[in-house]
Chains A and B, each alone.
Chain A
């Protein structure tokens, strides 16, 4: 069954110089699989992710012919209904742990906050659940991390804490917005395999937003390639290397390869007819 269905999604910002469309008619369906959204900055991939949670503030506007999550109409949902969905059923992991964790609160307190407030758990129960969540994202010393402040953690640890926090309520859909671009390659691989495992074992849907095609190939089933707010190509991740669209090919070719040629890297052509 389709978990999330989006038809003709548009995000518009009204500016002094007239409306700017950040997302222009995006449609996709997602079941409990891994969907990747790739594109350069400004392509509208983050806005698409945020629009699903209706997390766009005025002057931004969200319009869609249809946006349903598990049978529920997201466009018609009230604020209270949306609050019940956010976090509990649809969770989002942001790009940079430095800016997304509260710098003056211990990690443990932040992890337990939701459990205490939302699920009305006792202190001990909340503590046990938080430690278990840290365990699930392979943090070796959960006791120490619970008592640490975010600045005492490395980027990779902070990112894992955020993933743990998002996974505590057991969401059905996780939107991960560049969850690894602040991390080193070795840590990146680790964090991704944690996410991958969770999708498999919990049967969660995943929207993985990234500008790095190489990661998406490895960790997603299907890929949407976005440019200037539009989907220019949708394809199975394993076919990405044989992409038809010149923009997708351009994104792939501009990456340096180990042992590749020393010729200048091909620049991306953003001027062709499809770019309009």
Chain B
């Protein structure tokens, strides 16, 4: 297994109170697999991604990649293996940095050469014209920005991509284009996806296995076939399935 998460708990301390955002969640993701986490907001799904990146306080449990526990702080080697794409492309790109600077920064940090050619290639790979290099984020649409965010995550050629609601800030039509792009990149580069979404239909389209979460706990793990045939065993997973927007079309 490429990613192994064992009894992971994340506890935040705020104003003397302890908030247990994630409680004893375990799952594992094989290389080249696409794994989905679903649940409503506050269920702890994004916190798991942040914990993997070292952005959330892990209070118990272990995260292993390639069988090795992650160092803390995560370090440069981790950044070359694992990258994250955030939910809101309006917030995740620096408003005063050109696309060129956004994309060249990881190369500079890791001392990689040939930045010109790499940036042009990265833009072409995500379906943007090379001329976008010298634009600022505000000169791009939401979908184009998310493409830039994906290009940035891929600059260091990681094996694992953590996707935190990558399309929920986008229109349905732009969402389709972004999902197609992610699917294509995964096939071309043999990437492993760990994807978070509250939209079951999106997760179903993208992922092979799904973990349903509620209140920080794992509720049920489902295969794609089990989801399609509504073969869930817990009430919560069933309720989520029933409330899922695409069921409304049949309604």
Contact = CB atoms under 8 A, between A and B. Distances in A.
Interface of A: 40-41, 154-155, 184-189, 211-215, 217-218, 241, 250-251, 254-260, 262, 264-268
A265 B180 contact: yes
Interface centre among A184, A212, A215 (most CB of B within 10 A): A184
B249 A214 contact: yes
Contact of B40 (A40, A187, A212, A256): A187
B245 A215 contact: yes
A109 to B, nearest CB: 23
B205 A185 contact: no
A251 B172 CA distance: 7
B201 A258 contact: yes
Contacts of B173: 40, 250-251, 254, 267-268
Contacts of A189: 243
B174 A214 contact: no
B244 A258 contact: yes
Nearest to B239: A186
Contacts of A264: 180, 183-184
Given A185-B245, A259-B228, A254 B175 contact: yes
Contacts of B246: 214, 255-258
Interface string B161-175: 000000000011111
Given A154-B42, A256-B246, A211 B171 contact: yes
A184 B40 contact: yes
A185 B240 contact: yes
A252 to B, nearest CB: 8
Interface of B: 40-42, 141-142, 171-177, 179-180, 183-184, 198-202, 204-206, 227-229, 239-241, 243-249, 251
Interface centre among A184, A185, A212, A257 (most CB of B within 10 A): A185
Contacts of B184: 264
Nearest to B177: A267
19 contacts: A41-B142, A154-B41, A185-B198, A185-B244, A186-B40, A211-B172, A214-B249, A217-B248, A217-B249, A255-B172, A255-B246, A257-B201, A258-B201, A258-B227, A258-B246, A259-B228, A260-B205, A262-B183, A264-B184
A254 B172 contact: yes
In the complex, the 3 A-B pairs of residues with the closest C-beta atoms, listed nearest first: A259-B228, A256-B205, A254-B176
Given A154-B42, A186-B240, A262 B205 contact: yes
A49 B199 CA distance: 27
A135 B247 CA distance: 29
Contacts of B206: 256
Given A40-B173, A265-B180, A256 B204 contact: yes
Contact of B179 (A40, A185, A214, A265): A265
A80 B189 CA distance: 62
B33 to A, nearest CB: 14
Contacts of A250: 173
A250 B241 CA distance: 24
A241 B40 CA distance: 28
A258 B36 CA distance: 13
A131 B95 CA distance: 42
Contacts of A188: 243, 245
Contacts of A259: 204, 227-229
Given A154-B41, A254-B175, 17 more contacts: A41-B141, A41-B171, A185-B199, A185-B200, A185-B245, A186-B240, A212-B245, A214-B249, A241-B249, A250-B173, A254-B172, A256-B179, A256-B205, A256-B246, A257-B205, A258-B244, A265-B176
Contacts of A218: 248, 251
Nearest to B201: A256
Contacts of B177: 265, 267
Contacts of A155: 41
Contacts of A212: 172, 245
A186 B188 CA distance: 35
B172 A213 contact: yes
